[in-house]
Every structure is written in C-alpha cells, then in structure tokens.
Structure 1
C-alpha cells in the first residue's frame, strides 16, 4: 500500500507549487503520453457518437453508451492533468457529431469490428505510457486506464463472440 502514500505526498507537493514549478514533477515523455492519450480519446469519443447514430443492435447501442461514459470519465481526468501542469490540448470534438455514412452500408458488425480493432491497437500505447512514467500520480493514472481498458476489451471480445462477429483463425490440429 505504498502507492497511495506516495501519491498523497506528490499531491501535497503539487498543490504547494505554481504551475511552472509543477511541470518539474513530470517528464516530457509523460506529457507526450498524456497529450497523445487525450487526443486519441477525443477521436474515439467522436467516433462513438457517430456510431451511436447508426447502430441498430440494442445490445451494441448499450455497450456504446457505456463506452461513451467511460471515455468521458477518462477525458475529464486527462483534461485535469493538462490543466494542472499547463499541457496544451487539441480542440475538443463537437458535442453533436453528424453522421455522413449511409446507414445501410455500415453494419453493426462493421461498427463492432472497428471498435475492437481500436481497443486492440490502443493497449500497447497504455502499456508503453505506464512503463515510461516516473511520476507516481501519472503512472497510477495510466495503470488504472490500462486495467479498465483490459477489462473493457475482454468483455467486448466476449460480446462479439456471442454475436458471431469475432473473426477466429482456424483451429490448429497436428
């Protein structure tokens, strides 16, 4: 249980310093990962909003709504870090995303496959961000994001297998 103690000490140090002085508490790699993950989360949230306007399957719609809440929570946390440390951010996506897709062409399976690929490709980013962080507060944030993302991925994969949307390789037989 050393991490909460270190985090509390780090938090007290952070609060007693100016923004410029707080910037010495994190390194350039951590700043880059915070910025990169926030930017990715903005893009993912925008895609999720578009997909919510297209998806037909009620279960998938529910999962997308849960994903939207998950993303919004992480975005707020990352925006707070950016504000605390003076990290510039990209422009936030619009609240209401307009769909330019032909709904008949974009199937629920396509949406599912796109989201699964996004989850798969984002996991290494979180692992790398976690492993390169020396600030306990930033590292703990990335660790929590990674744990939640792994759980989300596992559940989303199981859901896709139930629907028959996961492309499984052929069985290996010798």
Structure 2
C-alpha cells in the first residue's frame, strides 16, 4: 500500500494515470512529504538553504498540522500520478467575492509535467464555482513567473508571513458564459 488510503487501495487494482481529488486524512503523510520536498528542493531561490528560513517555512507542514487543515473551512486538493501523490493545492474560505489559493506545490520528481498548471486551473475553477470573482495568492520568487504567465498580476498587498521574497498576486477569475 503506497499511501494509507484504506482497505480499498490495499485490495483494489492500482489506478493508472492522473487523478485530481479532494484530500483525505489518509493523505496527510504524503501531503507533508510533497510540501516539504518541494520547498527544500524547488524553492532554493526563496530560502537560500538558510536553516532558519527553512524551519520557519516547514514548521507547519507536518502531518499533524495538515490533519488540522483538513478540518478547516478551506479545501485541500491533490493530484495522483499512477497512484503516487504528486501535487498539492489548497484554497481558503471565501471572503465575500474573493478566494485565496493557499497551496500549489509539486513533488520534485513530477516537476515539468504540467501538474502545477493543472492544479491551478482546478483551484481557480473551484473558486468560481464557490462564487469568487477574484483570487489572491502569495507567490514565491520561484513561482512568480509561472503565475504571471497564467494571467496573475502583482499586487501591493503585504504578504502575511513576513517573507521578503513573497509577492502578493491577484487575478480576476473567468466565469463560463451563461447558456440561457
């Protein structure tokens, strides 16, 4: 059993391909692994291998913290590739007509396979479904160009975590045309 998803995975056939789904409590260890390895290996331009900066960033990426996040009013989504958890995304609760993307991380071994883009598209669509007209996020230096290429604009709102490399960004979300 690769991930502790329960009896159905242990006795069922392994799923092949990509699957985007809502995270469950059985995913907390894999989510922690993806977040921590992505931060350590892919975000070096942000933390510069500084142990204090890394500890500050990773301190709440433990399975225990992630289990608590699953009970929050926000949502955590994952992408599996051939049964392996490969990417993690999250949205916070809607504030009026504005949504917050809280997570968009890909495991280093699945980098450059379009998963971050797939996850971002899914999270944006989910926010539209929930009624958001705008979305916000705090981009790392590593990811800033990725977001700009997908229509996100830098914003002057200060980042909440006090990281100097962080950039607040905003995007007006597209709604599907009404078919009346």
TM (norm. structure 1) is 0.28
Choose between structure 1 and 2: higher helix proportion: 1
The higher radius of gyration belongs to 1
